[in-house]
Chain A
Amino acid sequence: MSRKRYSKEKKHRTGEIPTGSFSDIAFLLIIYFLVATTLVKVKSIAADLPSGEKASQSQSDKTPIVNLRGIEIFFNDKKVSVELLNERLEALELGEKEPAKRVIMLESTNGTPYDNYFQALAAISAHQGVVAIVEED
């Protein structure tokens, strides 16, 4: 008797999964993604800094050097503003030179803020210079 009941329960029911609201759910999810997403395109400057060991002999004296002392900028030991630095770098016409001669030394003292460093880095990179960071002894 009980066996008979068990076999009855085993019968498959024909039920359909309601899929009518699937598109509504999907579109709601799309709207959520569109609203919650923030499209950020950051602005930057590219700087390929060559790395290497310090040479025993110093580089040619003619290599331009940018010194950052706190908030002050010096170009070849002459105090300049950011605008003047841009003018000086533009006058060098680095873009027309071979890569080895595009090197601009960048030296900075302790306490130099990143803001100032970034200005110099951006100016050198914008004029196709290759930045070489000068290490302290």
Chain B
Amino acid sequence: MKKRPQSKKRRAVPVPIASMGDIAFLLIIFFMVCSEVSKDKKMQVVLPLSEHVKKMQAVVVARIAVDENGEIFFDGTRVDNAKDVEWGVRALLTSTISDDQRHVQFKCDSSLPKETFEPVIKAIAAAGGIIEAVGEKQP
């Protein structure tokens, strides 16, 4: 009869799992801090197409959207007119130091006429914002 060599015996190595909960909760906190909740999901906006659009790198101070019905939204909240946008952006930009902090995201439905969207663009410009006009890449 052949005997098994003793070195082949398996040892039970305990995996330390005591800190698993801590690691997991740290990950949750990380995700919660880094996440940004989308505020304009419900809006119906068909974005315009262009070959010049690039992935937005700038951090925006405000998000302005004009939906297909011409309703204006400031950070997801409906506002009455372009003047409200101007005051809102102006208020946000009072403490800005550099140009990097002046970017304002502008989303507008591609079918809207000039009378509807241009006052909003002018309002952002008048408040000192750099417009980041959102569009889709033309295939």
- A-chain residues with CB within 8 Å of residue B53 when the two chains form the complex: 43-45, 122
Do the beta carbons of A44 and B135 come within 8 Å of each other? yes
- A50 nearest in chain B by CB position: B125
Do the beta carbons of A44 and B125 come within 8 Å of each other? no
Which A residues fall within an 8 A CB radius of B?
19, 22-23, 26-27, 29-30, 33-34, 37-38, 40-51, 68, 108-115, 117-119, 121-123, 125-126, 133
- B-chain residues with CB within 8 Å of residue A123 when the two chains form the complex: 50, 52
The contact string, 1 if C-beta is below 8 Å from chain A, for chain B 10-42, is 000000010011001101100110010010000
Do the beta carbons of B109 and A114 come within 8 Å of each other? yes
Closest Cβ of chain A to B82, distance in Å, is: 13
Do the beta carbons of B24 and A43 come within 8 Å of each other? no
Question: Count the B residues whose beta carbon is within 8 Å of the partner chain — how many?
Answer: 47
Do the beta carbons of A122 and B115 come within 8 Å of each other? no
- B117 nearest in chain A by CB position: A114
- B-chain residues with CB within 8 Å of residue A114 when the two chains form the complex: 48, 108-114, 117
- A-chain residues with CB within 8 Å of residue B135 when the two chains form the complex: 43-45, 118, 122
| Bound Cα distance A63, B134 (Å) | 27
Do the beta carbons of B52 and A45 come within 8 Å of each other? yes
Choice from B58, B110, B130, B132 contacting A118 with Cβ under 8 Å = B110
- B-chain residues with CB within 8 Å of residue A121 when the two chains form the complex: 133
CB-contacts of B95-137 with A (<8 A):
103, 105, 108-115, 117-118, 121-122, 124-126, 128, 130-137
- A21 nearest in chain B by CB position: B21
Given contacts A46-B131, A112-B113, contact A51 B126 (CB under 8 A): yes
- A-chain residues with CB within 8 Å of residue B1 when the two chains form the complex: none
Do the beta carbons of B134 and A26 come within 8 Å of each other? no
- A121 nearest in chain B by CB position: B133
Do the beta carbons of B125 and A118 come within 8 Å of each other? no
Do the beta carbons of B24 and A49 come within 8 Å of each other? no
Closest Cβ of chain B to A81, distance in Å, is: 13
